[in-house]
Amino acid sequence: MPVADQRGVKNDDTASNTPEVFACVSCPSLNGVGRNWPWASGGSSILAEYGTLHLEFMHLSALSGKPVFAEKVMNIRKVLNRLDKPQGLYPNYLNPNSGQWGQHHVSVGGLGDSFYEYLLKAWIMSDKIDEEGKKLYYDALQNLIRKSSGGLTYIAEWKGGLLEHKMGHLTCFAGGMIALGADGAPDEKTGHQMELAAEIARTCHESYVRTSMKLGPEAFRFDGGVEAIATRQNEKYFILRPEVIETYMYMWRFTHDPKYRQWGWEAVQALENFCRVEGGYSGVRDVYSTSPNHDDVQQSFYLAETLKYLYLLFSDDDHLPFEHWVFNTEAHPLPIIKKASPELGNHLK
């Protein structure tokens, strides 16, 4: 069954040679015909949705010896490469009938994130054979990065030609993603990429420490004289999300700077103080309040990701080492395909 991910929407549809590869089954009908939600820019498919299965299908081809699964996800790239991209950006919506972009909304956070993540991780999973995936990742990476007047680096959103100076908690995974891809950076820019990753990690940490509960809001803004603070009531909630912890884990693995473990421990204490309830852990409705108003929900990704990344943050590096494993967008480890088979290699070059 399809699952709703905290980063966009997932589906279990497979690809074909036509733009209909993007038809999702987020709302399947009894006759087996997939259709999209009407709120998604006139029934469009979602960028994160049709980028998400890349690692899983490559793994399936490696396990089965059948390249057909790899072919399915590689067809998605062929369609995207044929399309004109506004200012080099990938909008979050693509119409499955016309094969054209929907509403011009671009985000590295919700609706878009795992598409970018999987471009990079496809290269890593292929034992760094998939040069196209790496190139597409780096070409798209820099377009939305901005720095505030107070010196905080953040990743903005783009709507209809205008920048929105907002960064979501979901986008905070990007610090870890950038660090993970640093050693493949073009033009000897590895050091610059690690600096950028550290700056993103710092900004997301600031979004936590500037709240009363020391837990980060769903989104935070850099306008109207505020920085790294949620200004709208519907952005002040925290639902046990993993993305900031994820970045701390990657930054610790790559730098061994003790501040990342310290920041992770601060988050553990905040979770215990404000989210621990009798039956488990609950999200809170306003992180700027001095007392928690619980939403009475323990999200599935809290166990699958948040606690797993915390465990890895405080584990030795040889526990699921990066040279052997890559995490999918739900933090499930998949093995790197060492010296990818010739059949797969033909689809990755």
- DSSP letters of 300-333? HHIIIIIHHHHHHHTS-TTSS-TTTEEE-TTS-E
20 or 271, higher pLDDT: 271
pLDDT above 90 as % of the chain: 66
Residue 327 placed within a domain? no
Token reading at 34: 């997939």
The set of residues, in sequence order, having a beta carbon less than 8 Å from that of 107 and lying 6+ positions away, is 92, 113, 157, 158, 168, 171
State whether 306 and 157 are in the same domain.
yes
Determine which of 20-34, 75-89, 175-189 has the lowest per-residue pLDDT on average: 20-34
Q: Does residue 277 share a domain with residue 215?
A: yes
Q: Any binding-site annotation on 329?
A: yes
Residue 23's pLDDT band (cuts 50, 70, 90): very low
pLDDT category, 186, cuts 50, 70, 90? confident
Q: Which of 143, 159, 194 is the last residue of a domain?
A: 143
Which pLDDT belongs to residue 36?
76
Give dist(CA 296, CA 277) in Å, integer: 9
> Residue 60: pLDDT above 80?
yes
Answer yes or no: 218 catalytic.
Answer: yes
Domain residue limits at 124: 13-143
- Number of domains present in the structure of the chain: 2
Instruction: Read off the pLDDT of residues 220-267 as tens digits, 9 standing for 90 and up.
Output: 999 989 999 999 999 999 999 999 999 999 999 999 999 999 999 999
Residue 33 lies in a domain: yes
Q: Do 165 and 311 sit in the same domain of this protein?
A: yes
pLDDT of residue 32: 74
Residue of 50, 10, 51, 62 lying closest to 335 (CA atoms): 62
Residue 12 pLDDT more than 60? Answer: no
Residue of 157, 218, 243, 305 marked active site:
218
Q: How many CB atoms are located within 10 Å of the residue 146 CB?
A: 13
Q: What is the pLDDT of residues 113-130, one digit of tens each?
A: 899 999 999 999 999 999
Please report, for the domain that includes residue 148, its CATH number.
Answer: 1.50.10.10
Residues 180-201: what's their mean pLDDT? 90
What percent of the chain shows pLDDT beyond 70? 88
Average pLDDT over residues 29-44: 76
Verify that 169 and 249 share a domain, yes or no.
yes
Tell me what the pLDDT averaged over the chain comes to: 87
Q: pLDDT of 75-115, one tens digit each? A: 988 888 889 988 788 999 998 888 889 988 999 998 998 99
Taking 90 as the threshold, does the pLDDT of residue 43 lie above it? Answer: no
Same domain, 151 and 132: no
**Would residue 320 count as lying in a domain?**
no
- Residues forming a β-bridge with 280: 277
**Inter-residue contact 289 to 213 (CB < 8 Å):** yes
Nearest Cα residue to 101 out of 14, 177, 42: 42
H/E stretch holding 56: helix 54-64
Query: Is the pLDDT reported for residue 2 higher than 50?
Result: no
What pLDDT, on a 0 to 100 scale, did the predictor assign at position 340?
55
